[in-house]
Amino acid sequence: MLNKPARPFTLVDLAVVITVAAAVVFFFVRMVRVLDYQWEWDIIPGYFLFRDPATGRLQTNMLLQGFMTTIKLSVWSMVLAFFLGTVSGVMGAKGGFASRLISRFYVETARNIPSLVLVILFYYFVSSQFLDALGLDIWLRSQSDTIRTMVSFFGADAGQINAFVSAAIALGIYEGAYISEIVRGGINSISAGQWEAAWSIGLSQFKTFRLVVLPQAFRKVAFPMAGQFISTIKDSAIVSVISVQELTFQGMELMAATFLTFEIWITITLLYFVLTFSLSRSISFVEKRLAIRQ
């Protein structure tokens, strides 16, 4: 497969770059001249890392902690979303009437409820009723330092574990509805000839689906599902309303304490952009490499 020639840099591209640069300069100039805003960018790095006066070691501060919590929350939500979406997608594509009905009910309900409402519902009903009854936070406090450190590294500490789990479940259910449609579409896109070819060599319907159809469907939907992971990262900002200490929540806390409104939010915007853009470029690179090999 031949690579397409690179598109030349045109006058339109130059005009767009100049316009964006002028808008950025205008924003900063207006902030200083009109609002008399005093920029204090030198303070921001200290909210990523600081040196502990007692030990002399570098410690993570609020912005870096929030950034890592956003990543952990997104990963766990996507794991749950992948499981729910795959099961629902298979049920919707090849299940019986009852299975298809359950799948459609899940997809239409989750997709037509605002994600913010879903997060709040799960926090006040799942977390307060079920997770508190399970005593997950109490159990974690009774464990050794090693176990508490591991759970905190992969999730949250005892004080935040219930809210973290509730947020991950709510986001997983919400994103899973979209993955369900991606999986269902991938399965339905496999031609009937694939089924007939597998049956002709003696494979049962279940083995045909598991060994022939499903692997091909997942190859087709791999990149759309990767794109859904990027969407999950952006949607994770809504869990700040239930005090999960992810990036947006930490930004609001810092803004309230320091009044560095623009510095904090510009920094948070750049952090989200770096995370999602790097994932987007990585996915695009892998997709192009696989297209060349094919």
pLDDT of residue 87 exceeding 90:
yes
pLDDT of residue 292 exceeding 80:
no
Amino acid 245 reads Q
56 lies in some domain? no
Cβ neighbours of 199 (radius 10 Å): 14
pTM for the whole structure: 0.84
Q: Tell me which DSSP letter residue 4 carries.
A: P
23 lies in some domain? no
pLDDT for res 138: 87
pLDDT of residue 128 exceeding 80:
no
27 lies in some domain? no
Helix orientation angle between 247-258 and 62-94, rounded to the nearest 10 degrees: 150
* CATH code, 218: 1.10.3720.10
163 lies in some domain? yes
36 lies in some domain? no
pLDDT band per the 50, 70, 90 thresholds, residue 207: confident
- Integer Cα distance of 161 and 183 in angstroms: 31
pLDDT for res 9: 67
pLDDT for res 7: 65
pLDDT for res 72: 95
pLDDT band per the 50, 70, 90 thresholds, residue 14: confident
Total number of domains in the chain: 1
Q: Long-range contacts made by residues 219-226, C-beta under 8 angstroms, separation at least 24?
A: 220/186, 220/189, 221/182, 221/183, 221/185, 221/186, 223/283, 223/287, 224/182, 225/82, 225/85, 225/179, 225/182, 226/279, 226/283
Could you identify the residue written with the tokens 């808008």? 23
Who has greater pLDDT, 198 or 252?
252
Interval 27-44: pLDDT, tens: 777 777 766 777 788 889
Interval 215-235: pLDDT, tens: 888 888 888 888 889 999 999
Parent domain of 151: 62-293
pLDDT for res 181: 93
30 lies in some domain? no
- Integer Cα distance of 149 and 27 in angstroms: 44
DSSP string of 25-53, one letter each residue? HHHHHHHHHTS-----GGGGGGGTEEE-T
Who has greater pLDDT, 269 or 14?
269
Interval 137-192: pLDDT, tens: 888 888 888 999 998 899 988 888 888 999 999 999 999 999 999 999 888 888 88
Distance separating the N- and C-terminal Cα atoms of the chain: 8
